[in-house]
Amino acid sequence: MVIMIEKGGCVLRAARVSPAYRVVRGLVRFFYPRTELRGVERLPDGPAIVVGNHAQMNGPIVGELYFPGPHWIWCAGEMMQLREVPGYAFEDFWSFKPRAVQPFYRLLSYLIAPLSVLVFNNAHTIAVHRDARILSTFRETLQRLEEGGRVIIFPERNEKHNHIVYAFQDGFVDVARLYRRKTGKPLPFVPMYLAPQLRTAVLGEPVWFDPDAPIAAERARICEALAASITQLAEALPEHTVVPYRNIPRRQYPKNHPKERPAP
């Protein structure tokens, strides 16, 4: 059942949370290791965009269960549509698996579809689309920010940046330009590094959007600054295995402190 609520002159949609989702969420909270969130004092008061390493499914789980205050997570719209889950899930999660086991993962991508739709349509998510519907993504994101919430984004794509993070899709930076245009206020981007092996997530110092700079330059600057900060947060922690964006064999997972190369 969907309830329509009027707020601030706008009609908002608030979906009733499914009892089945409450059960799933409770089970995940019970079995998933509790994660300590450090650096909360670095969060600016009010709205912010929090940008983290995806760490496969760990990022969304930690964001949903342990991030403080009102918050919403950008989620691929395909994972919220029953017919679109199998194709997206296989391509994004398992297409790099050895060919011998790919039939199993193709089957699995169909089996998880109903669960994916249940979870991502009931969790604190904002659907992210890759077509003209991206306008609805930005509208809902601005709405949540204006309400004083924080929006968590995991923007990595399948191109390696360094031993900690993959390269970022940079379109999320445009949210700050739209927010400034609509409210006249600056918007911070807060880096976050997740270390599942340490059961820890760490927040860094915010990076602020400059409305006077060309948007292409700001996209590049902010993405580079956030990636550098996330890398520094990772390297400042005790040695641990980094969970990469790409679902590669575990033996290929990097360490946060890469071994120094011997002198030539």
Mean predicted confidence (pLDDT) in 35-55: 97
Q: Residue 105 domain-assigned?
A: no
pLDDT tens-digit map of 14-35: 557 899 999 999 999 999 999 9
Percent of the chain exceeding pLDDT 90 equals 83
Q: Residue 109 domain-assigned?
A: no
Q: Residue 90 domain-assigned?
A: no
pLDDT tens-digit map of 155-181: 999 999 999 999 999 999 999 999 999
CA 98 to chain centre: 27
Q: Residue 111 domain-assigned?
A: no
Confidence of residue 196 (pLDDT cuts 50, 70, 90): very high
Confidence of residue 38 (pLDDT cuts 50, 70, 90): very high
Q: Residue 11 domain-assigned?
A: yes
Q: Residue 52 domain-assigned?
A: yes
Segment among 19-23, 128-132, 150-154 with least mean pLDDT: 128-132
pLDDT at 228 (0 to 100): 98
DSSP letter (8 states) at residue 72? E
The pairing of beta strand 48-52 with beta strand 150-153: parallel
Burial per residue of 11-38, b for 16 or more beta-carbon CB atoms within 10 angstroms, e otherwise: eeeeeeeeeebeebbeeeeeebeebebe
pLDDT at 15 (0 to 100): 55
d(CA 158, CA 231): 17
Within 58-214, residue ranges assigned H as helices are: 58-66, 85-89, 102-111, 113-120, 134-146, 174-183
DSSP letter (8 states) at residue 91? I
Kind plus residue range of the DSSP H or E element containing 217 = helix 215-235
End-to-end CA distance of the chain: 67
d(CA 192, CA 205): 9
* Sign, CA torsion 201/63/31/29: positive
Mean predicted confidence (pLDDT) in 231-257: 95
**What is the domain count for the chain?**
1
Q: Residue 96 domain-assigned?
A: no
DSSP letter (8 states) at residue 237? S
Q: Residue 88 domain-assigned?
A: no
d(CA 253, CA 50): 24
**Residue pair 42/95 in contact by the 8 Å Cβ criterion:** no
Say whether 190 sits in a helix, a strand or coil: strand
Tell me: pLDDT of 86 over 50.
yes
pLDDT at 173 (0 to 100): 97
- Per the prediction, the chain carries an average pLDDT of 91
Tell me: pLDDT of 4 over 50.
no
Domain that holds residue 21: 2-82+116-252
Say whether 242 sits in a helix, a strand or coil: coil
Among residues 81, 67, 35, 21, which one has the least CA distance to residue 243? 35
Segment among 95-104, 189-198, 203-212, 237-246 with least mean pLDDT: 95-104
Say whether 258 sits in a helix, a strand or coil: coil
- 159: domain CATH number? 3.40.1130.10
